[in-house]
């Protein structure tokens, strides 16, 4: 399997949906596209490729041809292969985009400006948990300042 090609396609696919989420209008159709076409297809690719790797059909890992998620050595072995690294990366892409979509919807519902959202979404795109942490701190601060929402 051409892992570099799969990696490149997954990256471009995620970036297209991130650009729409950060820069585009928050139309229902766009948000549905991010969820189903963006995140959904990344999840499908992840599931199929993970199944192929764990079954040993492609890019077998470890002596038994299976993946070991129970030890750090086992996880290192998974990421040491190109297939394992690509599948792991697609996992990150899907989850970070899902978190970004949740942040955008939550921020819109709470009337946060798009100018405030943009750097938080960018941080989520570049370093998922960091962006989420920033969003949680920002939304909590507003709640504590009396800007509570329904």
Query: Which among 38, 30, 66 has a CA at the least distance from the CA of 51?
Result: 66
Residue 87: HSE in the Cβ half-sphere, 13 Å Cα cutoff = 25
**Residue 135 token pair:** 């969003």
Place 64 in a pLDDT band, splitting at 50, 70 and 90: low
> What is the rounded distance in angstroms from the CA atom of residue 108 to the CA atom of residue 30?
14
Regarding pTM above 0.85, the answer is yes
- In the numeric block, which tokens belong to residue 35? 């969820």
C-alpha dist (Å) from residue 87 to 20, 34, 44, 99: 24, 20, 11, 18
Give SS3 for 108.
helix
* pLDDT tens-digit readout, 89-134: 999 999 999 999 999 999 999 999 999 999 999 999 999 999 999 9
């Amino acid at each position: 399997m051409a892992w570099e090609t799969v990696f490149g396609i997954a990256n471009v696919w995620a970036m297209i949906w991130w650009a729409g989420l950060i820069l585009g209008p928050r139309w229902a159709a766009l948000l549905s596209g991010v969820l189903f076409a963006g995140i959904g297809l990344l999840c499908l690719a992840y599931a199929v490729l993970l199944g192929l790797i764990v079954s040993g059909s492609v890019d077998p890992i470890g002596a038994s041809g299976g993946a070991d998620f129970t030890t750090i050595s086992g996880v290192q072995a998974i990421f040491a292969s190109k297939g394992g690294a690509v599948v792991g990366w697609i996992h990150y892409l899907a989850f970070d985009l899902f978190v970004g979509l949740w942040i955008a919807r939550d921020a819109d519902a709470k009337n946060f400006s798009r100018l405030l959202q943009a750097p938080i979404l960018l941080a989520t795109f570049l370093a998922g948990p960091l962006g989420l942490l920033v969003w949680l701190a920002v939304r909590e601060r507003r709640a504590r300042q009396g800007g509570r929402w329904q």
